[in-house]
Amino acid sequence: MTIKPFPRPKSGDGIGAVADTDVGLTSRITKCRSCGSTNLRAFLDLGEMPLADRFLRRDQLAEFEPRFPLEAVFCDGCALPQILMTVDPNVLFRDAYPYYSSFIETVLSNARDSAREIMSRIPLSQDSLVVEIASNDGYLLKNFVEHQIPVLGIDPAEGPVEEARRIGVESLCDFFGVELAGRLVAAGRKADVIIGNNVLAHVADTNGFVAGIARFLKPEGIAVIEAPYVRDLIDHCEFDTIYHEHLCYFSATAFANLFERHGLYLNDVQRLPIHGGSLRYFASTKSKPSQALVDLLQEEKTLGLDTFEYYRDFAVRVDNVRERLRQLLIDLRSQGKSIVGYGAAAKGTTLINYADIGTDLVEYVVDKNVHKQGCFMPGKRQPIFGPERILSETPDYVLLLAWNHAPEIMKQLDAYSQAGGHFIVPVPEPAIIETQG
């Protein structure tokens, strides 16, 4: 698959174009985000996509909705899969960013586990400082506050930061990078622990971000980073987790290559089920790799995650899933069945737009996050309601757009199952989940 030249449509070309005003906010890399290599090989092209978390208010429905190319490439230089397009982070994450971690029990539970794991690995006291980059609404740092350990949250989204401050988590509303790290160090602050969950993949200045961690971390400190695991993405065909917020898709191999460039050494790793499969990385200024890490790096070598061949057939598999999902939904609708979506998730935006799932197939979407209710899905514009609508209307099928939270969601909707409702998962295989309901 060759990398197509960036189409430079002019504004006013209609929904599918990118307005001149938006083109200035985007850029397209020609070199690897990590190592700078120009040996980038395309393995997936999802076409022009709306911004995954840009849920539309009713008064925006008549406005131009920007779309941007979404192409994934593999770097032969450092084995990092990544997307070509960089959308201005101020467009993606600043005001009205709708993601609040505390709406999701799975995320809260993982945060508690992370805090417990960190406190078991490094002695912390009231003289310590635990920092979280992309601290959102304080969902994780509150676990350290409860142990009287000083914390500092850093997040660019005003809404979640205000919520974090409300629950007593000191937070800076800003993007993290080497510049902010320098300001904090100049102010006499250095971190014993730097946490970054689901942020590394989102950062346009990948090297500046890691350089900032290296600068801000105490010599005996640890960095604890969580990111979706590209091996799970490929193996379970989780193509819907590819969207413009996710610039990079890490393996342990690619992560180690990036961090060692800044004097930080990957020493341990834990596989996690969250977000479709993630890795929790432990790095520090000294190299002391655990057996678990040595084993995982060997597995990646054996599987070929550091070669293009591992990614080569992904596009074919994705189109296969897309067609089978469409056919399943079309067949059910032709039988007069009603279908709605659960989870106004960023991944849901990729799924419904790449599989062309409009309101003719999925009538509406529900979500617990009150900041999304009353809005409309990007691109396909399903209205978003609260989950109680499913219990009152009992549609025949619920398509789990937030399939990564299926157990938590299905437990909430047990009454729906008992009333005869059915769930559909889109990946790794489009399927109706058989329940006892």
Three-state SS at 73: strand
Q: Residues of 307-343 as b/e, b for ≥16 C-beta within 10 angstroms? A: ebebbeebbeebeebbeebeebbeebbeeeeebbbbb
Task: Give DSSP secondary structure letters for 236-283.
Answer: TT-GGG-STT--B---HHHHHHHHHTTT-EEEEEEEE-GGGSEEEEEE
Which span (126-134, 140-148, 184-192, 338-346) binds ligand DWN, by CB under 6 A?
A: 338-346
- 226 touching ligand DWN, by CB under 6 A: no
Closest separation between CB of residue 191 and ligand DWN, Å?
22
Triad 75, 348, 258: Cα angle to 5°: 25
- The Cβ of residue 435 has, within 10 Å, a number of other Cβ atoms equal to 15
Closest separation between CB of residue 158 and ligand DWN, Å?
17
Triad 324, 338, 325: Cα angle to 5°: 10
Closest separation between CB of residue 350 and ligand DWN, Å?
9
User: What residues numbered 341-400 form the site for ligand DWN, per CB under 6 A?
Assistant: 343-347, 367-369, 372
The binder of ligand DWN chosen from 340, 404, 421, 426 (CB under 6 A): 404
Q: At what angle do helices 178-186 and 206-216 cross, to 10 degrees?
A: 20
415 phi and psi angles, rounded to 5 deg? -65, -35
Annotate each residue in 108-127 with x if it binds ligand DWN (CB under 6 A) or - if it does not, as one string: --------------------
- Judged by beta carbon, residue 128 or residue 404, the one nearer ligand DWN is 404
Closest C-alpha to 238, from 347, 358, 99: 347
- Judged by beta carbon, residue 6 or residue 103, the one nearer ligand DWN is 103
User: What residues numbered 51-70 form the site for ligand DWN, per CB under 6 A?
Assistant: 53
- Judged by beta carbon, residue 82 or residue 404, the one nearer ligand DWN is 404
Which span (43-51, 168-176, 317-325, 339-347) binds ligand DWN, by CB under 6 A?
A: 339-347
The binder of ligand DWN chosen from 405, 416, 422, 423 (CB under 6 A): 405
Rounded-to-integer distance, Cα 355 and Cα 380, Å: 10
Contact 337, 422 (CB under 8 A): no
Annotate each residue in 161-200 with x if it binds ligand DWN (CB under 6 A) or - if it does not, as one string: -------------------------------------x--
User: What residues numbered 24-53 form the site for ligand DWN, per CB under 6 A?
Assistant: 53
Closest separation between CB of residue 187 and ligand DWN, Å?
29
Contact 50, 378 (CB under 8 A): yes
The binder of ligand DWN chosen from 65, 88, 170, 408 (CB under 6 A): 408
Which span (115-123, 132-140, 184-192, 401-409) binds ligand DWN, by CB under 6 A?
A: 401-409
Contact 401, 343 (CB under 8 A): yes
Contact 286, 265 (CB under 8 A): yes
Size of the site for ligand DWN (CB under 6 A): 23
Which span (41-49, 72-80, 99-107, 262-270) binds ligand DWN, by CB under 6 A?
A: 99-107
The binder of ligand DWN chosen from 245, 268, 300, 306 (CB under 6 A): 245
The binder of ligand DWN chosen from 64, 65, 77, 103 (CB under 6 A): 103
Rounded-to-integer distance, Cα 278 and Cα 285, Å: 23
The binder of ligand DWN chosen from 402, 410, 424, 427 (CB under 6 A): 402
Closest separation between CB of residue 254 and ligand DWN, Å?
17
Rounded-to-integer distance, Cα 344 and Cα 302, Å: 37
Rounded-to-integer distance, Cα 179 and Cα 268, Å: 28
Binding site for ligand DWN (CB under 6 A): 53, 99, 103-104, 106, 198, 245, 275, 343-347, 367-369, 372, 402, 404-405, 408-409, 412
